[in-house]
Chains A and B, each alone.
Chain A
Amino acid sequence: MPLVIKLLAQRIALGLILLFLVSGLIFAGTIILPGDVAQSILGQSATPEALANLRAELGLNEPALQRYLSWLGGLVQGDLGTALTSGRDIGESISQRLSNTLFLAFWAAIVAVPLAIFLGLLAVRFRERWPDKAISGVTLASISIPEFLIGYVLMFFFGVKLGWFYPTATAFRPDAALFDKLESIALPVATLTLVVLAHMMRMTRAAILNVMQSAYIETAELKGLNGLQVIVRHALPNAIAPIVNVVMLNLAYLVVGVVVIEVVFVYPGMGQYLVDSVSKRDVPVVQACGIIFAAVYIGMNMIADIVSILSNPRLRHPK
């Protein structure tokens, strides 16, 4: 057992080092963006005096390394700084945004993950027959269409023409009752589900099919178990590592990759916040969003790693 703990500690330490490196990259990336913050805040209506005043106030005249170190220092203490443009505390603004994004991602995952795995199992059960082909065809088609277009199509038919759901998520209020919140995010959740479904479904199908070649599956079949039982009881547990991997990747995508969906459906999440801040060169906010996204991504992948370590005796007890 201590070996497992050591392995886990290694994983977590690696994750933290990675996060530290990413912080450097994010900072460097925001510095090389063209234009400067003061100009972007004031826009076309900037006068040289106003620009100089704003630049001095924002501390843009200090050297980059000094700004990075003070930013990193604050970050370690959990202080994300204040937004340049509005002067508000970033941590405060982000926490609401992040919880909105997580809410959307959570419900999209609740729908998408079981559905993808179930469809994957179904596809294996009826492999090379019409249900398999239909499932693959539909999911592959939905992943091939750009996500914003799926969003527009759903918005047009279910929002405007049929009037079943709100076309945009503008009715979303963080403090509303759960059912009202779900109603207002129905279309974004549907869109996200369609986007991530194919990847997880195909991976589940491939992983299980791989296991299905094994001798013990043949034994199970000879024992007289029916098709679905064999898959669920014997094939699925042995295919869990690659499935968890792809599920985690997609969960990470649901958190960090929803920028377009949030903008299309006017959902007040992190993505919208990031887009606004990039276009206004609000560097501290961009950095804060970047580091949070990186943390989510690294965290999700770490969980996937840990699950595959724990689920695989060979990784648990390396020789």
Chain B
Amino acid sequence: MNDHLHFLARHAAADKLSRRDFMAKAAALGFSAAAAGTLLTSQARAAEPQKGGTIRMGLQGGSTTDSLDPALSTNMVALMMIRLWGESLVELNDDGGLDGKVAESYEASADARVWTFKIREGITFSNGKSVTAEDVVKTMERHSGEDTKSGALGIMRGIKNVSADGNNVVIELDSPNADLPYLLADYHLVIQPNGGLDDPTAAIGTGPYILKDVDMGVRIVAEKNPNHWGDLGHADTIELVVINDNTARVAALQSGQVDMIDRVPPRTAKLVDRAPNINVHSTSGPGHYVFIMHCDTAPFDNNDLRMALKYGINRQEMVDKVLNGYGSVGNDSPINSSYPMFTPAEQREYDPDKAMFHLKKSGHDGEILLRTSDNSFPGAPDAAALFQQSCASAGINLNVKREPNDGYWSEVWNAQPFCTSYWGGRPTQDQMFTTAYLSTADWNDTRFNNEKFDQLLLAARAELDTAKRTQMYADMGEIQRNEGGLICPMFNDFVDATSDRLGGWVENTKGQPLMNAYAPMKMWVKA
């Protein structure tokens, strides 16, 4: 439905707009009175957040070895901590657009080469210091410096110069990039006083909460930041407990020890949902489970062989059996409907005849070695076994080799020619393609080298006309689908669960799990 109407409905529900005005505006937007009325009621019921109380969450992925330095954050627990204490310049909103955080607004030069971000006035860090444009500049410098270890280094590379201009931050790029604000929503790039150069692990930022008690890999307690500029955050206290064991995490939720958990195992999600006081939420996202082939290594340097394998995979079966239905089928491109300028292509189906045809044409004979490990994605060995079976009926002899979990990302992924892997996705097409499919990308894990694809990517990046850009991305998706080294059978949903004690869950948010990691701040304890 129309985003603007949703916006109005929220306002009406929050008493910022009278019902009569809302109905009139909805009608002007072309909605029937009945539809608008239903929307208003649902928003009104969902609204009315309660203040106070404690929200406790049990999350997977935290470790004793985590650092509070946002540059080194890699997992969900680290992300959640950053969300609590800090903010980036801008942030992805529920509908996939951008909201200003530390930056109040931003604008681009006509060629998308120079971007100006206006820093929100009068906001302070949790140590009481005012936020200045200089702090933002230093933050950008810390993440892009020569000796940085930042996970955001890749996206900072295209930035030529960052400078403060009064209350504005001006970012100059090497080449035009219409997606720059999306890149700056990256969670590593949280704004710290003096860029965090003095003490990167101080956890001082402009976020709605302040960390009070940190026992890394065990538990984190945060309390409401009384001086936060915005209206985010309902609970007085948020407690985060690291529970890496799946069974223990679900048990903690069922018994009421925690109020929300992430990563409900798809195999048991339906059983968990049956419990009376628990709601399981499935949110589609850009993450995908993949099989990747090196396009420059025999036998995968032959496109017919790649096509044979693409036709030899049964995508629906994988969604049903590996994801237990908590996901959607992929189409050999890393892009799905969670991206802003997505154009669906014709769905590729399992077709043993075509697979056999392409195999014959490729002239390949003998077995093909596929490496896998549970570390590449949950259920990867099962998926590999399913792939092996579906290939067998097409006459393709797939040999599955199980690799140790330890060291999989350093020894197998991006090193061996054919393996299982996982991509968490990126907020925009440009970022996803630039990260992994541009011929010069560090993580070009399919060794994809296509001149036309590269040209289109650079052209699309500089294109501010959305219609033209959408067409370019559709063309690139087609190239990738028919020539690339990516076999993408499925996109996994984020499966989270909350207890009845909490209200305010929003369905179908974009970005990360748990409402883009804002669930503990946007949800509230019911009175």
Contact = CB atoms under 8 A, between A and B. Distances in A.
A186 to B, nearest CB: 13
B400 to A, nearest CB: 20
A152 B257 contact: no
A83 interface: yes
A159 B409 CA distance: 37
Contact of B65 (A54, A170, A276): A276
A168 interface: yes
A128 interface: no
Interface in B246-280: 247-248, 251-252, 254-255, 257-258
Contacts of B58: 170
For A93, A266, A268, the residue with the greatest tally of chain B CB atoms inside 10 Å of its CB is A266
A135 interface: no
A200 B474 CA distance: 69
B251 A160 contact: yes
Contacts of B406: 33-35, 278-279
Contacts of A282: 65
A155 to B, nearest CB: 5
Given A50-B150, A266-B243, A266-B248, A272 B217 contact: yes
B229 to A, nearest CB: 30
A49 interface: yes
A266 B245 contact: yes
Nearest to B147: A53
Contacts of A155: 247-248, 251
Contact of A276 (B64, B254, B407, B443): B64
A289 B471 CA distance: 57
B248 A168 contact: yes
A266 B241 contact: yes
Tell me the dominant secondary structure on chain B's binding face: loop
A268 B215 contact: yes
A248 B324 CA distance: 47
B128 interface: no
A237 interface: no
B508 interface: no
Interface stretch (B66-74, B112-120, B292-300): B66-74
Contacts of B63: 276, 279-280
A97 B161 CA distance: 46
A152 B268 CA distance: 15
Nearest to B408: A35
Q: Which of the four size classes fits the interface of chain A?
A: 35 or more
Interface in B217-263: 217-219, 241-245, 247-248, 251-252, 254-255, 257-258
Contact of A263 (B153, B154, B244): B244
Contact of A43 (B74, B201, B216, B404): B74
B413 interface: yes
Contacts of B215: 268
A272 B216 CA distance: 12
Contacts of A43: 74, 409
Contacts, number: 129
A264 B247 CA distance: 8
A166 B63 CA distance: 22
Nearest to B243: A266
B165 interface: no
A257 to B, nearest CB: 17
A230 interface: no
A27 interface: no
Given A160-B254, A170-B241, A86 B407 contact: no
B361 interface: no
A83 B409 contact: no
A43 B414 CA distance: 12
Interface string A157-171: 001100100111011
Interface string A69-110: 000000000000001011100000100000000000000000
A214 interface: no
B410 interface: yes
A48 interface: yes
Contacts of A163: 255
B148 interface: yes
B411 interface: yes
A100 to B, nearest CB: 10
B64 to A, nearest CB: 4
Contact of A156 (B66, B153, B216, B251): B251
Interface in B66-92: 66-67, 72, 74
B463 to A, nearest CB: 27
B404 A34 contact: yes
B151 interface: yes
A302 interface: no
Contacts of B248: 155, 167-168, 264-266
A217 interface: no
A268 B217 CA distance: 8
23 contacts: A33-B407, A34-B406, A36-B410, A39-B407, A39-B410, A42-B151, A44-B409, A50-B153, A85-B67, A86-B216, A87-B67, A87-B201, A155-B248, A159-B255, A160-B254, A167-B254, A170-B58, A170-B252, A171-B257, A266-B242, A273-B217, A279-B406, A285-B65
Interface of B: 58, 63-67, 72, 74, 147-151, 153-154, 201, 215-219, 241-245, 247-248, 251-252, 254-255, 257-258, 404, 406-407, 409-411, 413, 422, 442-443
Given A34-B411, A39-B410, A276-B63, 9 more contacts: A33-B406, A35-B407, A44-B422, A45-B74, A53-B149, A86-B64, A168-B252, A170-B58, A276-B217
